[in-house]
Amino acid sequence: MSTVLTVAQLTLREASRRRVLLALLTLTVLLLALSGWGFSRVAAESGGSALTSGETRLTASILLNLVMFGFSLIAALGTACLAGPTLAGETESGIALSVLARPIRRSTFLLGKWLGLVVFGAGFVVLAGLAQCLVVRATVDYWPPQPGRALALLAAQTVVLLTLAVLLSTAVSPMASGVVAVGLFGTTWVAGVVGGIGASLGNSSVERVGEVSRFLLPTDGLWRGAMNAFQDPTALSLFGDEGGEAFPFLSTAPLTTSYLAWAVLWVAMVWALAAASFVRKDL
């Protein structure tokens, strides 16, 4: 266990020194600034009686989900760009071989790398999301009904994508692993939107597209659970349950316990595949 923690600590230190961290911080600050300006305009419209208090809360709720999707995308790009170079890059450069020449099991080394990246990625999205919630509270006086649950689900989404990127990095080049991971993230989100449109139209075949995609890669399912925890409870009354399914920044229901259990099992299975691939990899 001490070896795992040591590798995780070194991975965190290495991640903090990469230029990816600077890029993440820059994008985060820009998004916070732009969203702060946008929410301040909503507050100005409300103060000018152009919007009622209920309309202000509804607008803030939907916009918060939109901005949080931006943070989840930034986290996806960051974790994918970190996972590839951290593992595949070290394998190609020979650094991993020099470390594994000592009495350290490959699975232990991989677990430490994964744990360090999880702390980095999940910590980033939680802190950035909390900062965004504080910006919304300061500008329009809106606070999500379940911010802790929402941020935890965003962190879980990051863990899922990072685990996938780690698996890919054991098999392909660093750049390819990042491109494929982010591509699958975007594809799953689009499939979820398509499935929601199918549900609103009563088309079970199209609706199944979203259901299958959320099963194969739980990122979109976890994102929808986070949206439900961020949004105002009255938001769905404007669209209705069926109409809300078709809107990409509304979620009609919280996640079930069985789906959360599947997400945990998915991470465990994909990590096991990554460990098996890394153990057999020719360094």
Contact by Cβ (8 Å): 220, 213? yes
* Rounded Cα–Cα distance for residues 2 and 258 (Å): 33
- Output the furthest CA–CA distance in the chain (Å, rounded): 70
Q: Report pTM.
A: 0.87
Distance of CA 191 to the CA centre of its chain: 16
Cβ contacts of 34 within 8 Å, gap of 6 or more? none
Overall size of the chain counted in residues: 283
Q: What confidence tens digit (pLDDT) does each residue in 228-282 have?
A: 899 888 766 666 555 556 677 888 788 999 999 999 999 999 999 998 988 776 6
Q: What confidence tens digit (pLDDT) does each residue in 176-224 have?
A: 787 888 889 989 988 888 888 887 777 888 888 888 999 999 999 999 9
Element (H, E) at 110: helix 106-140
| 69-73, 88-92, 158-162, 255-259: least confidently modelled range | 88-92
User: Residue 50: pLDDT above 70?
Assistant: no
The domain limits of the chain are 2-280
* Rounded Cα–Cα distance for residues 226 and 231 (Å): 9
pLDDT at 48 (0 to 100): 54
Band the pLDDT of 52: cuts 50, 70, 90. Answer: low
Is 217 buried (19+), middle (13-18) or exposed (0-12) by CB count in 10 A? buried
SS3 154: helix
SS3 42: helix
CA angle 239, 260, 194 (to 5 degrees): 40
